[in-house]
A and B are shown apart, each in its own frame.
Chain A
Amino acid sequence: MKKPLGELHKGQKGRVDSFNDKQLSLRLMEMGFLPGEDIQVSHIAPMGDPIAVSVFGYIISLRLEEANTIIVEC
């Protein structure tokens, strides 16, 4: 099933599929969000936003609006 990264619950794993924001997608790819890459939600901030994901061998935090530009296959 494909859905935006922001909709995954804590601990859920998936695979990067595509992006829906062209501008942001370049930065995301540069930082290791490559299509096909394994991804896991490792933390969600107390107020539900931002979230921290484990991808490409490290942990990155992003705001929900940014996370939702990443479509994940899970």
Chain B
Amino acid sequence: MSVNIAAPRSQRLDPKYVRGPKSRGNFEMLAWLFMRLSGVVLVVLIFGHLFANLMTGTGINALSFGFVAGKWANPVWQFWDLALLWLSMLHGTNGVRTIINDYAEKHATRAWLKGILYVATIFIVVLGSLVIFTFDPCVAGSDLAQCR
């Protein structure tokens, strides 16, 4: 009487109905979760960054090499800016990756655009991290008191 019908996705599908290559595991879910978690942290980090640099004292008029040196003399701001760099770059890169996946229809175009994106991201993150870790208040052109 009864007929056994295999449940969908029971691995007994005709191969021609199997979409795409192998599953990428949880990557897309983790990327989705990362956007939410990093987003909340970035709101705090960026609002703090904008407030400290543009809203206090004489705001943008105070920005200079000496201002940066003063901030990075404090490890809290070093860590703040490092976290800002990493989280914002990863958040932004994942956002642009999503946009490329949505709009670039040809496989080769998608691969190229994402390749360029990842190279740019690695370059910017490595460069920014090196600048924070190797900052020298007495670099060429510095007129800070302790360098004279």
Do A and B bind? no
**A residues engaging B (CB < 8 A)?**
none
**B residues engaging A (CB < 8 A)?**
none
